[in-house]
Amino acid sequence: MAIRFVDNVGVKMADVLCELLPRSRRAEIAVAFVRCSGLRLIEAAMDKCLSRGGDMEFVVGLDFHTTDAESLRALHVRAEAGSRLRLYCYGEPADGPGTYHPKLYLLEKGKRLTAIVGSSNLTEGGLSSNVEVNVALDFDAETPEARALRSIYDRVKYQLTRFAPDADYIGAYAEATRRARTLSEGRRQDAVTRAIASVRDRERVLPTPVGPGRVLGGWQKLVLAKLPPGEFKGADLYRHARDFQRFYPDNRNVEAKIRQVLQQLRDLALVRHAGAGQWINSYAEAAASQAGP
C-alpha cells in the first residue's frame, strides 16, 4: 500500500485529482459540499476521464448555502449530455440521525484503487486554498480495505433520500439559496422556510438509486419510502393514500395504483409476495444486511 498526505500546503488536492482522474476508469466522489469554484479546478481532468470512457459519479450534500446551484447545473449538464456521469444529491435526512458530512474520493484504474479520505470538500478552499488533512491510499482493488471503502460509499449512495436532480429542481434550489442570501433578517425565516419546503417536496419524487443498476422515481419511490420493514400488508400502505394524493392529486384510485406499484417493486426484487395479501420488504432486508451489526 502506498500512502500520500495531501494538505494543500506541500501537495494540493486539486493537483492530485488532476493527476488521477484522466487515468481513472471509474471515479466515485461523496462530499458534503460542492462549488463551481472547486469544479473549475478539476473540470479539464474530469472531461478527459469521461472522453476516454471513464465513469464518474457524485453524491453531494445540499445546505442551501455552501453547495451552489451553478455546480449542480454544471454536473447535470454533463450527465444530460450523454456522458458517463451521474449526479445524486443528499436530501432531507429522513434515513437516520446525523449530518451528511463525508469527504471520500474513490478512483479506480485497472486493478488499483486510490482512495482519498480526509477533510476536503469539492470547493476551491477544499481543493487548493484551505489547510486540509487528507490521506491518499493506493492499493489493490480487491483487498479487504478496498471492499470496505466501497461498502461505505454504497451505504452513502443507496438511501431513499438520495436523488438525481433535474433542471427544474436545480432552478428551485437556486431560488431558495438566493432568498437565503439576500432577504433581510426580518423576512428571511418565513420566506426561506417556504422555499425550502417546496424544494423538499420535489426531492420526494425525483429518481433515486436503490441498488446496482436500479433507479426509482415517482410512484415507485413514494411507495417504497412508505413500506414498513419486514412483513406488511397492502392495507398498511392504503392509510398513506392522502400523502400519495398530495403528489398526484388527479389520481382517483390510489389503492389500485398502490397494488400496481407493489407488483412493479416485486419485479424489481425490492419486495416479495408472501401470499394472502402479505408482502416482505426485501429492500429493507438488504439495507440492514449492508449496514452490518
Can you read off the three cell numbers belonging to residue 200?
A: 423538499
Task: Please list, in sequence order, all residues whose beta carbon lies within 8 angstroms of the beta carbon of residue 120, skipping any fewer than 6 positions away.
Answer: 6, 8, 13, 31, 103, 126, 127, 130, 132, 134
Cα four-point dihedral sign 109, 117, 7, 47: positive
Rounded mean pLDDT, 26-30: 98
Q: Quick one: pLDDT at residue 184?
A: 54
Can you read off the three cell numbers belonging to residue 67?
A: 453547495
Contact 85, 56 (CB under 8 A): yes
pLDDT in tens, 99-117: 899 999 999 999 999 999 9
Cα four-point dihedral sign 160, 164, 169, 175: positive
**Residue 125's pLDDT band (boundaries 50, 70, 90)?**
very high
SS3 152: helix
Of all residues in the chain, the percent with pLDDT exceeding 90 is 76
Q: Quick one: pLDDT at residue 99?
A: 84
Rounded mean pLDDT, 258-278: 93
Q: Quick one: pLDDT at residue 291?
A: 58
Average pLDDT, the chain: 91
Q: Quick one: pLDDT at residue 207?
A: 94
Rounded mean pLDDT, 279-287: 90
Rounded mean pLDDT, 55-61: 97
Rounded mean pLDDT, 32-42: 98
pLDDT over 90 at 97, yes or no: no
* Class of domain 2-163 (CATH, top level): alpha beta
Domain ranges of the chain: 2-163, 217-291
pLDDT over 90 at 271, yes or no: yes
Q: Quick one: pLDDT at residue 186?
A: 54
CATH 1.10.10.10 applies to domain 217-291: yes
Q: Quick one: pLDDT at residue 187?
A: 57
> What DSSP assignment string belongs to 238-265?
HTTHHHHHHH-TT-S-HHHHHHHHHHHH
**Residue 92's pLDDT band (boundaries 50, 70, 90)?**
low
Q: Quick one: pLDDT at residue 107?
A: 98
Domain 2-163 and domain 217-291 have a common topology: no
Distance of CA 18 to the CA centre of its chain: 23
Q: What global pTM score does this model have?
A: 0.89
pLDDT in tens, 9-26: 999 999 999 999 999 999
